[in-house]
Amino acid sequence: MSLTPGRVRLLMPVAAAVFLGLALTIRALDDGALRQHSGTALYASMVWAAVLFLRPPLAPLPAGAIATLCCWAVECAQLTGIPAQLSAHSLAARLALGVQFDPVDLAWYPVGVAPLVALHALLSRRTAATTA
């Protein structure tokens, strides 16, 4: 199966749903550090899926960089208090924007994106070799 932009766009909602299901499962089973850090990493994985859904032809490194930078931007925006205000009125805003800044999260976002960048690169090379 080749990795065409059309296939990537179709697979990204499925990938996001898998990441969300995994996050919710961990959340139901653990209420410690695993819950916190895996949730942050899986949030970044969902952002990566959204980036590739919006721009399927992106190469692995740019897609990963954009996803990580988006996560960092959202995290840093929490320093303004605006996400907290929005989150107080909306569950969706709370899930997407968070409530308060946590500098540890800045390190966990790349943890959620890096394996996906590696997998994307592997599949991209495989597709290129198949079509060559």
**Domain count of the fold of the chain:** 1
Sorted by sequence, the CB contacts under 8 Å of residue 62 that are 6+ apart come out as none
- Tell me the whole-structure pTM to 2 decimals: 0.92
Q: What is the pLDDT along the chain (132 residues), one digit of tens a residue?
A: 678 899 999 999 999 999 999 999 999 999 888 998 999 999 999 999 999 999 999 999 999 999 999 999 999 999 999 999 999 999 999 989 999 999 999 999 999 999 999 999 999 998 878 776
Burial 113-123 (b: 16+ CB within 10 A, else e): beebbeebeee
Long-range contacts (CB closer than 8 Å, 24 or more residues apart) made by 96-99: 98/74
* Parent domain of 48: 5-131
